[in-house]
Amino acid sequence: MGLQGELKQAYERCVTLSWAMVAALLVYPLVVEIMRLQNVSFEGFSPQSAARVKDLVYGLAVILPLSIRSIRRAVLKRAKSSDIQVLTRNILMATVITISVSEIPALLGFVMFLLGGLYKEFYIALTYSLLVILIYFPRQSQWEMLLGKGFIY
């Protein structure tokens, strides 16, 4: 079963949007490196705050991507009578939410960098985000399976 017509266009839009979100994510390291080059001894804007919220940020950065499967399952639930447009819209929404949640660790790592100058932690969080995005990046075979089996995920 191949994706055809309007469905194929929706899939291609989804892939384009996902790549755009990945590209936006890659702006963070540019900002980090520019800040580090301009201020070699950058220790953050509030190192005391960074030390206090570090564990909370790490916890959120790990837990949120691990919850993606549950989030996707909730979004992809549907009634038996749903038409192809509703199904496509649900898959698209699930993908956008997934990629957005996948970016949260990098964003939190960036916040940790701004607060405490923790650039190594930022790069660890960025790598983690990119790995999660790679795992959940939209694939045509996945869309076909979801459409063909009624979102048994």
pLDDT digits (tens, 9 = 90+) for 85-94: 777 788 888 8
101: Cα within 13 Å, side-chain hemisphere: 21
By residue count, the chain amounts to: 153
Q: List the chain domain ranges.
A: 5-148
Each residue's pLDDT tens digit, 20-29: 999 999 999 9
Residue 131 makes CB contacts below 8 A (sequence gap 6+) with: none
Q: How far apart are CA 37 and CA 92, in angstroms?
A: 39
pTM over 0.85? The answer is: no
16 alpha carbon, distance to own chain's centre:
14
